[in-house]
């Protein structure tokens, strides 16, 4: 499917740039077995140019972002440093390195891991505990989802507790 999409984009660009006319466009046949265009009416030199352009188009597209990778802006790259033995000790700025050394004495050496990470996406989620009907006062599982989903769980929990409370009739 991707090759079909790329083929259509390439041919559209040729039409848009007036490299080929509509009747020439309609005569082009793509031969997937040779990954090239063919025409019974256009000159072989013209077809060679179209196919050279197609090869260059594919090469350029394949180098943009290889399959399985994403492009991340530089401003989304950050580093942090973490104490190898006590990972709860970390800092995000080089100016805070001394906080990593607070746990060692003069003459001691600490192993520090530097992590470089890309911030690709941020999604705001919400979390809440839910209980089982057996004991609605005990935390059973922690749920993470949308705010509406969490509100629904909280309302169900409240209803479950109210249903188990004795009524004063």
The string of DSSP codes covering the chain is: -HHHHHHHHHHHHHHHTTSS-HHHHHH-EEETTTTEEE-SSS-HHHHHHHHHHHHHHHHHHHHHS-TT-----GGGEEEEEEESS-TT-EESSGGGHHHHGGGS-TT----EEEEEEE-------EEEEE-BTTBTTS--EEEEE-HHHHHHHHHHHHHHHHHHSPP--
Q: Is the pLDDT of residue 169 over 60?
A: no
Q: Provide the pairing of β-strand 77-83 with 36-38.
A: unpaired
**In this structure, what token pair is assigned to residue 158?**
């409240």
Mean pLDDT for the stretch of residues 1-25: 84
State pLDDT tens for residues 105-139: 889 999 999 999 999 888 999 999 888 767 777 88
* pLDDT at site 168: 62
For the whole prediction, is pTM greater than 0.85? no
Neighbours of 83 (CB within 10 A): 20
d(CA 150, CA 129): 9
């Amino acid at each position: 499917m991707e090759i079909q999409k790329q083929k259509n984009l390439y041919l559209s660009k040729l039409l848009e740039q007036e490299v080929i006319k509509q009747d020439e466009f309609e005569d082009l046949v793509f031969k997937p077995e040779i990954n090239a265009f063919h025409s019974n009416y256009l000159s072989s030199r013209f077809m060679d140019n179209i196919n050279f352009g197609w090869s260059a188009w594919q090469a350029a597209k394949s180098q943009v972002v290889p399959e399985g990778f994403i492009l991340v802006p530089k401003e989304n790259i950050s580093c942090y440093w973490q104490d190898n033995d006590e990972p709860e000790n970390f800092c995000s700025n080089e100016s805070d390195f001394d906080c990593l050394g607070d746990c060692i004495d003069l003459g001691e050496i600490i192993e520090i891991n530097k992590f470089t990470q890309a911030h690709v996406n941020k999604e705001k989620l919400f979390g809440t505990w839910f209980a089982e009907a057996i004991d609605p006062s005990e935390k059973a599982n922690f749920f993470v989802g949308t705010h509406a989903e969490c509100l629904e769980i909280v309302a169900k929990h409240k209803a479950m507790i109210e249903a188990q409370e004795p009524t004063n009739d």
